[in-house]
Amino acid sequence: MQATEVKKQCTPAEYLALEDQSEFKSEYYDGEIIPMAGGSFTHNEIITNICNVKITLRSKGYRLYSSDVRVWIPKYRKFTYPDVMVVQNQPIPYENRTDTLINPRLIIEVLSKSTEEYDLGNKFKYYRSIPDLQEYLLINQYELEIQHYTKSDGGLWIYRAYESIDDVITLASINTEMSVANIYEGVSFSTSS
């Protein structure tokens, strides 16, 4: 008879204690710890380009956070690190922590080969349960393609796609626009991997 390994389930508090000591980031899903993969040059270039709107956002009452800040999704008992989050006014912390919030208004993910299906599928389902979330932006790092989901007043999610360098994305939830050209500035698709 072959022995099977039983994974230890952790509480959110145990996960956070482990994460505070860890050299690498991991997500948490209902008791299970899931290691995260690293990013690429292109992935980082896109995130940096997006973060350039921080000064504009702050003057409008919004705060932008990059992937070092987690979001807690209570309905699914999930901690995850979005690539970029924007909150209105002040972040609402999870249990008074300064590294985990619960009120993102906009979440942006840069797609990678290892996370694309998850970001488009279950992760979007988890994010949609966040009451404050109004928009979700998915940016392809391998070709010019941006998927934009906006929550309507009736709670339906409206989809738009951008595939031209001349497109401008209106982010109504944070009262700003981003050009596709600025998002992809400095990105060379032939070297993306």
What residue ranges do the domains of the chain occupy?
38-68+81-191
Q: At 7, is the pLDDT very low, low, confident or very high (cuts 50, 70, 90)?
A: low
CA distance readout (Å), 108 to 47, 51, 94, 166, 183: 9, 11, 20, 20, 12
pLDDT in tens, 73-121: 999 999 999 999 999 999 999 999 999 999 999 999 999 887 778 888 8
Looking at per-residue confidence, does 192 or 118 come out higher? 118
| 38-68+81-191 has CATH 2.60.40.10 classification | no
- pLDDT for 185 beyond 90: yes
Residue-level pLDDT at 115: 78
Cβ–Cβ < 8 Å for 133, 107 = yes
Q: pTM of the entire structure? A: 0.90
Which pLDDT tens digit goes with each residue over 9-55? 899 999 999 999 988 889 899 999 888 877 788 999 999 999 888 87
